[in-house]
Every structure is written in C-alpha cells, then in structure tokens.
Amino acid sequence: MMLFKLGWRNLWRQKRRTLITAFAIALALFLSLFMRSMQEGAYQNNIDNSARFATGLLQLQHPDFSDSQSIEDILPGSDEFIAAAKSLDHISFILPRIESFALAAAGDKSKGVAVIGAVPSLEQPYSGIGDKVVAGELLKDVDEGVMIGQGLADWLKVELGDELVLYGQGYRGQTAAGLYPIKAIVRFPLPQLDKRLVYLPLSSAQQLFSTGEQVTAWVLHTDEIAQVARVKQQLIQAYAGQAVNVRDWLQMAPQMAQQIAMDKAGGVFMMYLLYGIVGFGLFATILMMTLERQREFAVMLATGLQRVKLLQLIVIESSLIALLGMLMGLALAIPLIGYFYFNPIELTGDTAQVMLDMGWEPIVPMSVSMQLAVDQLLVVSLLMLICLLYPLWRAYHLDVVSGLKGDQHG
C-alpha cells in the first residue's frame, strides 16, 4: 500500500510526461482495437455471406467425399441420423443437400454443371435464395422443375419454361438422367456459381441420382462464427464411431481462409508497428523515470528499502501509466465501436455496388468481442513488461555509493 501510494504520487511529479505517455498508449489501443474490430467484423460478414451462398459454416460429409466429390460417398438423410447435431446448442440452421455434377443440355448447347438438391423452404431463410430469383418463382419443396443461374441460362440460351436435360452418373453406377422444366432463373451473387449452377428440390435430386433418402452433405450454420470450432468438436464427438467427416469453412473454402489470414496478418503487422512506436515512448518514459531518480533510489536503499521493493515500485509506476492508458483507450474505443456496431459504416460508390452485386449489404460491420479487447490489453501489458526490462536491470544493479554521489546517470 505504501509503495502503491508512493508510485501513484510519483507519476504526477511529471504530470505532462505521464499524461502524454498514457495518451499515446490510449491512442494506440484505441486505433488498434477499432481497426481490429472493423477487420473482424468485415471478415465475419464475408464468411457469413459466403457460407450462406455456398458451403455453410460446417458440413457433415462422408469421410471420402471431400476428395472424391462422388455421389457414391453419401450420408443418411434421416431425422434419426441428424438428431445428434440437432441436440447441440448454437446451431441455427441444419440443411440437407445433394451436391453433385451433371451435364446440362438444352437445344444444341451443353455444359458441365454443379447440381444442388436442397429443400427450398429451409434454404430461403438461410440464404434468401428466393430474393435472387430474376424470372419465375422459387421452387416448392416438391417440384418437378429446376432453377438455374442467369449465367448458365445465357450460355445455354434458355428461358423460363424451356426444358433442361441433366445427364450424369448416379448412386452405385446408375445413370442419372432427367428432363426438367426451368421454373426460375436466379442471379447468384458469385459468378462461378451463376454460370454453372442448377438447383432443384432435394427429392428431385435424390430421384435423379438414385440416392434414396441419402444426402451428400448436411450443411450447418452456427449462431456466431466464433462458435464454429467448438461446435465442430462437439459434432466430431457426437458422430464418433460413424463414417462422418465434420468439415468447417476453413477446410471447405481454403482460399478465403488464406485471404483472410493474409489480410489479418497485414492488420496485425500495422498494429504491432503502432505499438512499436508507442513502445519507444513508453520505454523512454520508464527509463527516464528510473535514471533521473538514481540518487533518490540510492537514498531509499541506504535507508533500508530492499532492492526487490524498489523494483516493485518501478513496476507499480509503469503499470499505473499503462493502466491509465488502457482505461483512456477503452473509454475512447468502447463507445465508438458500440456506436458503429449498431450503426455500421455504409459503403458508397463502386465498392458498395460490388457488394450489392454480390447480394451483400454494403456495410462494414463492427465486431464486438471481449477477446479483441483482452488481446489488446495483453499486448499493452506485454509491451510494458518489455519496456521495463532495461530500467529494472539498471535499478537492480544500482550502486548505492555512486547513486548517492549522483554518478549513475549514464
């Protein structure tokens, strides 16, 4: 308590220096936290958007499906099978799908396409696919028709009401062939999907590929992206002993994961650069606080203060500056991040148009995460500890006689 009182009052001997140092820490913390919250918010938004239009955040697949992509490697589509997943918390969507390939032909045109068999009434609240229909209407759960991407329709030169032949290989080597009227044309946000996607009700797809009640994947979506890893582990445990592979979006969309990792690395580099600059300021302050008081420290040691207590005093003073900076930084960051969390930054111009074309809301959402704040506080604490090393070493090796003479300034 005595050292704490002494340390606190010592801070205000050089009021301006203390405040400038604390404010530098606060500014670095604020900028880093704001930047990281914006980055994480954008990543989560992108992952969520992409997942909803493609793979989902998690999938249950047959162990061989990821390599083979074959209709032979399928899972039961029964309620009994998926009951284990349904019993877990934090899963907001569970969608059965058949994902395979076929040759699509109309008139004298043909093209290899991706075929997705899904339950439209379950998919609509998940991906909002019905909102992307540009001609016709969303399929019913039991429907004879198909929906195709606008890009594919253009390639095949087909329109609403035209018929499309799907021809491929079904389950156990059976021939998959069918003739389907085009009930809807959809503008998928991702061009690679738009040019090659044929979408039909799950029951039709099961009939086409002769899979019976089976599916190639169960698509799952967690309440929050941060829960993916934990839910994945729970799923692995729940399906242990069964021929089930649990894959997350990182495995299913490795390019996006890499892109995010690189972008994140850039952000983290900037953050450390910022903290590095602030660190020099903090180091200079702590070092000055130590060097300019060599005589005072020597007097304290002469009058009976143990060296370890002297080091404690320096740590307390530095910690108080860092704490002051952290509190100021959080006081700046929290309200602003909170504001932008509820009122996301709206993009304008070309960037907004690109996002709108993708079917995404043109906003930069903020991520509100305790972990982000804790990470920043840990970085500041670590920075302070690094800055303390040399001043502590100097204080520990202070020669009392030289200190009393004022000889130890260098």
Give the residue with the Cβ less far from other proteins, 13 or 86.
13
Under the criterion CB under 8 A, does residue 50 sit at the interface with other proteins?
Answer: no
State how far the Cα of 298 lies from the Cα of 287, in Å rounded to an integer.
16
Structure tokens at 294: 């060599």
132-161: which residues touch other proteins (CB under 8 A)?
Answer: none
Under the criterion CB under 8 A, does residue 16 sit at the interface with other proteins?
Answer: no
- Which residue in 17, 264, 295, 394 binds other proteins (CB under 8 A)? 295
State how far the Cα of 152 lies from the Cα of 233, in Å rounded to an integer.
38
Is the separation of the CB atoms in 227 and 6 below 8 Å? no
Cβ at position 384, least distance to other proteins in Å = 21
Under the criterion CB under 8 A, does residue 2 sit at the interface with other proteins?
Answer: yes
Angle at the Cα of 241 (from 236 to 245), degrees rounded to 5?
45
Cβ at position 400, least distance to other proteins in Å = 5
Cβ at position 378, least distance to other proteins in Å = 31
Cβ at position 290, least distance to other proteins in Å = 15
Under the criterion CB under 8 A, does residue 304 sit at the interface with other proteins?
Answer: yes
From residue 252, alpha-carbon distances to 64, 92, 191, 228, 280 in Å are: 14, 19, 18, 13, 43
Under the criterion CB under 8 A, does residue 394 sit at the interface with other proteins?
Answer: no
Cβ at position 320, least distance to other proteins in Å = 13
Under the criterion CB under 8 A, does residue 404 sit at the interface with other proteins?
Answer: yes
Give the residue with the Cβ less far from other proteins, 143 or 317.
317
Under the criterion CB under 8 A, does residue 292 sit at the interface with other proteins?
Answer: no
DSSP for 324-390?
HHHHHHHHHHHHHHHHHHHSPEEP-HHHHHHHHHTT---EEPPP--HHHHHHHHHHHHHHHHHHHHH
- Which residue in 134, 243, 284, 302 binds other proteins (CB under 8 A)? 302
Structure tokens at 174: 């059976």
Under the criterion CB under 8 A, does residue 393 sit at the interface with other proteins?
Answer: no
Give the residue with the Cβ less far from other proteins, 230 or 309.
309
Under the criterion CB under 8 A, does residue 303 sit at the interface with other proteins?
Answer: yes
Under the criterion CB under 8 A, does residue 9 sit at the interface with other proteins?
Answer: yes
- Which residue in 153, 301, 326, 388 binds other proteins (CB under 8 A)? 301
Is the separation of the CB atoms in 132 and 140 below 8 Å? no
- Which residue in 111, 187, 264, 307 binds other proteins (CB under 8 A)? 307
- Which residue in 92, 237, 259, 306 binds other proteins (CB under 8 A)? 306
Q: State the burial class of residue 176 (Cβ atoms within 10 Å of its Cβ: 0-12, 13-18, 19+).
A: buried
Structure tokens at 378: 């840990």
Give a three-class secondary structure readout of 272-330. HHHHHHHHHHHHHHHHHHHHCCHHHHHHHHHCCCCHHHHHHHHHHHHHHHHHHHHHHHH
Cβ at position 305, least distance to other proteins in Å = 6
Under the criterion CB under 8 A, does residue 305 sit at the interface with other proteins?
Answer: yes
Burial 304-318 (b: 16+ CB within 10 A, else e): eeeeeebbebbbbbb
Structure tokens at 217: 């994947």
- Which residue in 299, 363, 364, 368 binds other proteins (CB under 8 A)? 299
Under the criterion CB under 8 A, does residue 409 sit at the interface with other proteins?
Answer: no
Q: Which residues bind other proteins (CB under 8 A)?
A: 2, 6, 9-10, 12-13, 295-296, 299-307, 309, 400-401, 404
